[in-house]
Amino acid sequence: MEESGSVDSVESLCSSTTTRSDRSSGPRVSDTELRSKAKAVEKVYKDPSKDELPLLPEELVQDSAKDVTYICPFIGPVRGSLTVTNYRLFFRCTDREPVFGLDLPLGGLSRVEKIGAASSRGDVSYGVVCKDMRNLRFVHKEPEDSLKKSVFEVLMKFAFPVSNNMSLFAFEYKQVFPENGWKVYDPLAEYKRQGLPNESWRISKVNDHYELCDSYPATLFVPVTITDEELRRVSSFRAKGRIPVLSWIHPESQAAVVRASQTMVGQNGRRCKEDEKLLQAIMDANAQSHKLFIFDARPSVNAAANKMKGGGFESEDAYQNAELVFLDIHNIHVMPTPETKLSLSIGNCIFIVIYFLFYLF
């Protein structure tokens, strides 16, 4: 079932990458501005001499079909043309006023699937599932030439370039920016903005060559009372070497958010005095705090089961003045289930609204 934002107005053609919520939250466009935009769009898409889709640099049209029907949940079937480039899917109506269309970057597509078999008239249905939970449906005729791929088969190829041994459009586009992207984020400048280093936190270069932890940045902030040698010993006690390091600090209260991986206590209840010292130093770094909260994102059952694999969690007996709290968030294999349920719920709600409006008018 399609989401309410499936079909965009003329305004969306001028700003195709924004959602309805983005547009409603931003500054309102006056009627005069909207009409001028509409005229500009109509000039581009209605003028026979300018019937082509405006393309980005290095964007190439891969295929197009002129007799495609979009099944709109609000106004019914809409006939038009469908164009697939190496960057986007673009549908433009040809039988309705005002001009409207769908402009979807291929990176926003989650799945393209054929729905059922061809009808007696040769019509084939395709479903396009988007990552923003839109579920679009198109109908078109099979090519007369059996060897020619349909526009949707071409779409499936370019929507998932990596799976088809092709490069992403971002590498083809080669957009030139006025600044070096690798220097947009400066970790030292960010920490300086937070008032660091100070008398409690220092910079550590122990991971300067990513040898301590390859998934951590090179610049780390740790308590001043902890040496780099102690950090190396802690890394052998934490999964994948992810030692407790500072992520954020409040500028006034000095309350800190520190991230780390699970401890490798195992079934035998292994301990690490350097790790215990580090957590105590983190608490001592805030003179106003007398308790350390350890939030473990896993369910307690999962954390206990990880002891069988050599992992585990912090013991409140080993870590003084610490309180362990499990957040009961399941692993990544379970988390997509709520998203699927939400997507189905959105579809059902839209169907109810359409059904109600149909009988209201």
Coil vs helix vs strand at 344? helix
> What is the Cβ-side half-sphere exposure of residue 87, based on CA atoms within 13 angstroms?
17
Report pLDDT digits (tens) over 108-143.
Answer: 999 998 887 766 677 888 899 898 888 899 998 777
Please give the Cα distance from 270 to 41 (Å, whole number).
Answer: 68
> DSSP readout, 155-192?
HHHHHSTGGGT---HHHHH-PPPSS-GGGSS-HHHHHH
Contacts 24+ apart (CB under 8 A), 302-311: 302/330, 302/331, 303/262, 306/262, 307/265, 307/266, 307/267, 308/267, 310/264, 310/266, 311/239, 311/262, 311/263, 311/264, 311/265, 311/266
pLDDT at 18: 36
pTM (predicted TM-score): 0.59
Banded model confidence at residue 346, pLDDT cuts 50, 70, 90? low
Q: Is 309 one of the annotated binding-site residues?
A: yes
Q: Is 249 one of the annotated binding-site residues?
A: no
Banded model confidence at residue 23, pLDDT cuts 50, 70, 90? very low
Domains of the chain: 10-173 (2.30.29.30), 182-326 (no CATH)
pLDDT at 132: 85
Please give the Cα distance from 140 to 137 (Å, whole number).
Answer: 10
Q: Is 115 one of the annotated binding-site residues?
A: no
Q: Before 197, cis peptide (omega within 30)?
A: yes
Q: Is 332 one of the annotated binding-site residues?
A: yes
Q: Is 157 one of the annotated binding-site residues?
A: no
Pairing relationship of beta strands 201-204 and 220-223 according to DSSP bridges? antiparallel
Q: Is 321 one of the annotated binding-site residues?
A: no
Q: Amino acid identity of 255?
A: A
Q: Is the separation of the CB atoms in 216 and 235 below 8 Å?
A: no
Banded model confidence at residue 50, pLDDT cuts 50, 70, 90? very low
Report pLDDT digits (tens) over 291-329.
Answer: 999 999 999 999 999 999 999 999 999 998 999 999 998
Coil vs helix vs strand at 249? strand
